[in-house]
């Protein structure tokens, strides 16, 4: 469907240099599979799956059909004290994919809502256990957990925080896990994972373990440039949480649904979370949807404490929206029928070879990667962090290869339906553009 673009002025665009964009727009008018068509009639390849959210390729007709049928049949049901069968079926299907003892799913409309929901569930759980004094939340530097108040507070990206005041009180940040001492690592770095995770133990020693409700981490930090955890890091976090009754939350909004080589990062790294957030890839981005999975223990504790009434005073008007549930069910069917998680695993070696082949470029200062996810750091322009990345957005657009730039880092996440020729074009395009810097 094509709409006219008579006036670009009145859309207040998210995370965008609005004035610069409107002076020189980059509009997409059509997207199919791995390719997108720009407003000026060029074909581009999408090598970041949109924002990591379209692993099955753009505009899948199977999903459109499922959504359309649901919208004609049962477009909306209020989700408080009422329900729609698709939501229960989706929760059942998701449970089969979860790692560890995650078993129950709460539905939201985005990753940001999933993060805030997870943090609130953690607080509610502690209170239900008679541990209402546990109100501290632990996040990490260079984390991204979305843009709602809880997520803004626990995340660790300065630009996302500085405009908005102190946020939620009682938040502590562990150190990030990237180090200039171990560059160009494929998979998990070898160095000081346990020592970095011991930041959590230090918070327990300093503030009292019984003041801490939960620790939230992305198993692989995504938006800040694909920071794969050093060996032993996640295991040590789990150990400290177990010792002190702290809940461990994995934010799997990017790593979920096959992106790093298993259903979820929890399986890949063999570490259990008590709560896990999801969003991207759940509906292949056809309809906004997020989700939070909780363990039996978390669910049962909250249920027992609230027995007889509403157990959790939290929810959204569009929680488990029927159209989103239909989109998610159709997406899971595609993943299963086309074996897309296996395909991603098989393509990972070829993809990482292609990205790591950029190591010789003078402007490239580090490369990291796991599964179908990779980060390439570019040397910042003198005194202007982010300026080179901003330039790269335009240059990559002109070159016809799309990846997500965060600051001066390229975050690359091809759709799982990408073929070797797309990966080759990605490597050529990046070499051409980054080779000029
Ligand atoms: C790890 C993580 N958590 C949360 C979010 C927020 O998701 P959304 O943009 O859907 O609110 C993101 C988005 O990139 C993310 O990467």
In tens, the pLDDT along 98-150 reads: 999 999 999 999 999 999 999 999 999 999 999 999 999 999 999 999 999 99
* CA 16 vs CA 11, 46, 337, 406, 430: distances in Å: 11, 18, 37, 12, 22
Q: Is 144 in the pocket of ligand 1 (CB under 6 A)?
A: yes
Contacts of 133 (CB under 8 A, 6+ apart): 210, 211
Task: Give which of 216, 262, 266, 264 is closest to 241, Cα–Cα.
Answer: 216
Q: How many CB atoms lie within 10 A of CB 205?
A: 10
pLDDT at position 2, please?
Answer: 80
Q: What pLDDT, on a 0 to 100 scale, did the predictor assign at position 437?
A: 95
Q: Is 57 in the pocket of ligand 1 (CB under 6 A)?
A: no
Query: What atom of ligand 1 comes closest to residue 279's alpha carbon?
Result: 10
pLDDT at 59: 98
The atom of ligand 1 lying closest to the CA of 222 is 16
Q: In this structure, which residue's CA is closest to atom 3 in ligand 1?
A: 145
* Number of compact structural domains in the chain: 2
405 C-alpha to center of ligand 1: Å?
A: 15
Atom of ligand 1 nearest to the CA of 218: 1
pLDDT (0 to 100) of residue 84: 97
The pLDDT, as a whole number, for residue 159 is 93
CATH number at residue 367: 3.90.1150.10
Indicate whether residue 111 lines ligand 1 (CB < 6 A): yes
Cross-strand pairs, 293? 105, 276
Boundary residue ending a domain (286, 308, 337)? 337
Alpha-carbon distance of 353 to 215, in angstroms, equals 34
CA distances from 224 to 113, 201, 233, 239, 373 (A): 20, 24, 18, 26, 12
Q: Are residues 318 and 407 in the same domain?
A: no
Closest ligand 1 atom number to CA of residue 223: 16
Cβ neighbours of residue 415 closer than 8 Å, sequence gap 6 or more: 33, 34, 46, 49, 54, 55, 56, 57, 58
Distance in angstroms (rounded) separating the CA atoms of residues 403 and 18 = 19
Q: Quick one: pLDDT at residue 406?
A: 95
Is the CB of 146 within 6 Å of ligand 1? yes
Mutation to probe ligand 1, out of 142, 153, 220, 223 (largest number of atoms < 8 A from CB):
223
Atom of ligand 1 nearest to the CA of 52: 14
What would the pLDDT profile of 207-266 be if each residue is shown by its tens digit? 999 999 999 999 999 999 999 999 999 999 999 999 999 999 999 999 999 999 999 999
Nearest CA to ligand 1 atom 7: 111
> In this structure, are strands 275-278 and 247-251 parallel, antiparallel, or unpaired?
parallel
Atom of ligand 1 nearest to the CA of 290: 10
Please check whether residues 298 and 349 belong to one and the same domain.
no
Provide the pLDDT for residue 1.
76
Q: Is residue 183 part of a domain?
A: yes
Q: Is residue 2 part of a domain?
A: no
Tally Cβ neighbours within 10 Å of residue 297.
14
Residue 9 within a domain: no
How far is ligand 1, taken at its centre, from the CA of residue 299, in Å? 24
Residue 426 belongs to what domain range? Answer: 18-60+338-434
Residue 12 lies in a domain: no
Pair (174, 297) in one structural domain? yes
- Judgement on whether residues 191 and 326 belong to the same structural domain of the protein: yes
pLDDT at 3: 84
Which residues lie closer than 8 Å to 157 by C-beta, 6 or more apart? 142, 143, 144, 223, 224
- Say if residue 131 is in the same domain as residue 268: yes
Residue 150 covered by a domain: yes
Centroid of ligand 1 to alpha carbon of 282 (angstroms): 12
* Residues of the chain falling short of pLDDT 50: none
Of 197, 195, 170, 193, give the one whose Cα is nearest residue 182: 193
Same domain, 270 and 385: no
CATH of the domain at 233: 3.40.640.10
79 and 176 share one domain:
yes
Counting ligand 1 atoms within 8 A of each CB, the residue from 140, 253, 273, 283 with the most, and so the one to mutate, is: 253
* Residue at 175 is within a domain: yes
- For a mutational test of ligand 1's pocket, the pick from 112, 227, 273, i.e. the residue with the most ligand atoms closer than 8 A to its C-beta, is 112
Q: Tell me which of 314, 337, 360 is where a domain ends.
A: 337
Let me know whether 107 and 152 are in one domain: yes
3 occurs within a structural domain:
no
Report the separation in Å between the CA atom of 142 and the middle of ligand 1, taken as the mean of its atom positions. 13
- 330 with 377, same domain: the answer is no
Same domain, 202 and 345: no
Query: Residue 181 phi/psi, 5° resolution?
Result: -80, -10
Question: Is 281 in the same domain as 214?
Answer: yes
Of 315, 337, 359, the one marking the end of a domain is 337
Q: Is the Cβ atom of 115 under 6 angstroms away from ligand 1?
A: yes
What rounded mean pLDDT belongs to the chain?
97
pLDDT at 228 (0 to 100): 98
Paired tokens of 386: 């982010």
Same domain, 189 and 290: yes
Judge whether 320 lies within some domain. yes
């Amino acid at each position: 469907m094509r709409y006219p673009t008579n006036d670009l002025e009145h859309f207040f665009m998210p995370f965008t240099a609005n004035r610069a964009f409107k002076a020189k727009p980059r509009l997409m008018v059509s997207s199919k599979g791995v390719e997108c068509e720009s407003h000026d009639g060029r074909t581009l390849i999408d090598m970041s799956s949109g924002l990591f959210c379209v692993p099955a390729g753009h505009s899948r007709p199977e999903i459109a059909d499922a959504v359309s049928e649901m919208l004609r049949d049962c477009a909306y049901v209020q989700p408080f004290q009422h329900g729609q069968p698709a939501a229960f079926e989706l929760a059942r299907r998701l449970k089969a994919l979860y790692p560890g003892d995650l078993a129950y799913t709460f539905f939201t409309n985005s990753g940001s809502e999933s993060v805030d929901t997870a943090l609130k569930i953690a607080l509610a759980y502690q209170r239900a256990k008679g541990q209402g004094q546990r109100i501290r939340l632990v996040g990490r530097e260079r984390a991204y957990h979305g843009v709602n108040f809880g997520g803004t507070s626990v995340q660790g990206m300065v630009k996302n925080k500085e405009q908005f005041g102190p946020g939620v009180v009682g938040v502590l940040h562990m150190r990030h896990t990237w180090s200039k001492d171990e560059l160009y690592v494929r998979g998990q770095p070898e160095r000081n994972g346990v020592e970095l995770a011991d930041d959590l133990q230090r918070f327990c020693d300093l503030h009292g373990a019984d003041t801490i409700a939960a620790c939230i981490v992305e198993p692989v930090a995504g938006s800040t440039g694909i920071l794969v955890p050093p060996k032993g890091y996640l295991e040590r976090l789990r150990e400290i949480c177990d010792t002190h009754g702290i809940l461990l939350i994995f934010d799997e909004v990017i790593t979920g649904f096959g992106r790093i080589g298993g259903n979820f990062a929890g399986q890949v790294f063999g570490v259990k979370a008590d709560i896990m957030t999801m969003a991207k890839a759940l509906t292949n981005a056809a309809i906004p949807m997020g989700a939070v999975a909780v363990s039996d223990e978390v669910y049962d504790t909250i249920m027992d404490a609230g027995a007889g009434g509403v157990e959790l005073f939290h929810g959204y008007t569009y929680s488990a929206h029927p159209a989103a549930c239909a989109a998610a069910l159709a997406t899971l069917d595609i993943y299963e029928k086309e074996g897309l998680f296996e395909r991603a695993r098989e393509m990972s070696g070829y993809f990482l070879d292609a990205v790591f082949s950029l190591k010789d470029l003078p402007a490239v200062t580090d490369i990291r990667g796991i599964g179908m996810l990779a980060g390439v750091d570019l040397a910042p322009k003198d005194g202007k962090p982010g300026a080179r990345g901003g330039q790269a957005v335009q240059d990559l657009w002109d070159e016809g290869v799309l990846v997500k730039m965060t600051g001066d880092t390229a975050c690359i996440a091809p759709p799982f339906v990408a073929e070797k020729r797309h990966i080759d074009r990605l490597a050529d395009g990046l070499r051409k553009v980054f080779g000029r810097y």
